[in-house]
Amino acid sequence: MQSARNAQRDSRVPKNTFETSRSDNNKIIGIVLARLDSKRLPQKALLSIGNHYLFEICISRLARSTEFSSIVLATTTREVDDPLAIVAKERNIPVFRGSADNVASRCVECARYFGAHYFLRLNADSPFSDPSLIKIGVAIARKNPDCDLVTNLIGRSFPYGISVEIVRSISLENQLEKLSLEESEHVTQCFYRRSADFYIKSIVSGRPDLKQARMTVDDKKDLAMLRRAEQNFKGQLINLSHEEIAEFYISHHHTNRNS
C-alpha cells in the first residue's frame, strides 16, 4: 500500500506524462540538465540571480531562440530534485525526469518523448547560451540531417561555458549500450573520444580573443561574478549577447583558471 507521505509527494511532484511521439526530422528541442546536489554549490540551480533562479536565466536565454519546438528541464527522479521540478512546473516549464547517473539515457528518453530528431544539450550552470550561435548550429544540423553532432567545443575558440552541442537523437541512442560509466554521465563524450566513427560538424568563433572568459557557474567565485554582472547590466543578462558579457568578465579578470 502506498504511504500517505508518498501519496502526498506524488500529487505535487511533476512526472513524465507526455505521450511518446514519432521523431520529426525538423523537430529540435532544448534539453537543460540540472540537479540540486552539487557538492561545490548545493541547490545551485535554485540560487537567486537578481529576480531569477539560475536555471531560469539559462532557459530564458534559450527561449529567445525560435529554433526549438520545446525547451525542457531534464532533472532526476530523486526526491532531492523535487523542489526544482516543482518550481519549473509553477513556471510552466516542461519537466522530464530520468536517471541520475546515466545522463545520456535521460537525454535520449527525453528526446524520444518529444519526438525530436535533434536536441540541444545544455547544463543549467552555463546560463549564457546565445540565440545567434544556436541559429548557426541548427542551420548546420538541418543542412546535414545525417550529422551526429554539431559542436563548438572542438579546438575550443569560445569562452568556457558557451557551448552549442546539437545531438542527433538516434545517434546517441545507438551508443547507449556501448557507453562507459563516465561517458554515460557526460552525454556527448563518446562522440569526441571516437570522433572517427561519427559525422561531426564544428562551429568556430569569430572572436577567439574572448575564449579566456570563464562564464560557467561551478563555485562561489563564479556565482559572485554572475551576480556582479547581473547588477552591472541592471537585470538585462537575458537579452545581451555572450560577447558583451564575456568582455565584462575579462575586464574583471574572471577567466579560465587553466589558461
List domains and CATH numbers for the chain: 10-206 (3.90.550.10)
Which residue carries 549564457 as its cell? 128
What's residue 15's pLDDT? 56
1 has a pLDDT exceeding 80: no
What's residue 105's pLDDT? 98
Q: What is the pLDDT of residues 206-236, one digit of tens each?
A: 999 999 999 999 999 999 999 999 999 998 9
What's residue 256's pLDDT? 85
Which residue carries 580573443 as its cell? 209
Please give the DSSP secondary-structure letter assigned to residue 244: H
* Alpha helices per DSSP H over 75-219: 82-90, 103-113, 131-143, 169-173, 181-185, 189-193
What's residue 9's pLDDT? 40
- 135: its cell numbers: 541559429
> Is this structure's pTM higher than 0.75?
yes
**Widest Cα–Cα separation across the chain:** 61
What's residue 257's pLDDT? 72
* Spatial distance between the Cα atoms of 96 and 85, rounded to a whole number of angstroms: 9
Q: Could you tell me the CA-to-CA distances from 257 to 211, 212, 216 in Å, in that order?
A: 12, 9, 12
Q: How large a percentage of the chain has pLDDT more than 70?
A: 90
What is the rounded average pLDDT for all residues in the chain? 90
* Spatial distance between the Cα atoms of 174 and 187, rounded to a whole number of angstroms: 13
Q: Could you tell me the CA-to-CA distances from 70 to 24, 92, 95, 200 in Å, in that order?
A: 13, 12, 11, 24
The mean-pLDDT minimum among 110-114, 138-142, 254-258 falls in 254-258
Q: What is the pLDDT of residues 120-174, one digit of tens each?
A: 999 999 999 999 999 999 999 999 989 999 999 999 999 999 999 999 999 999 9
Contact assessment for residue 152 and residue 133, using Cβ atoms and an 8 Å cutoff: yes
* Spatial distance between the Cα atoms of 140 and 158, rounded to a whole number of angstroms: 18
Q: How large a percentage of the chain has pLDDT more than 90?
A: 86
CB atoms within 10 A of CB 233: 16
11 has a pLDDT exceeding 70: no
- 144: its cell numbers: 546535414
**Using 50, 70 and 90 to split pLDDT, how confident is the model at 18?**
very low
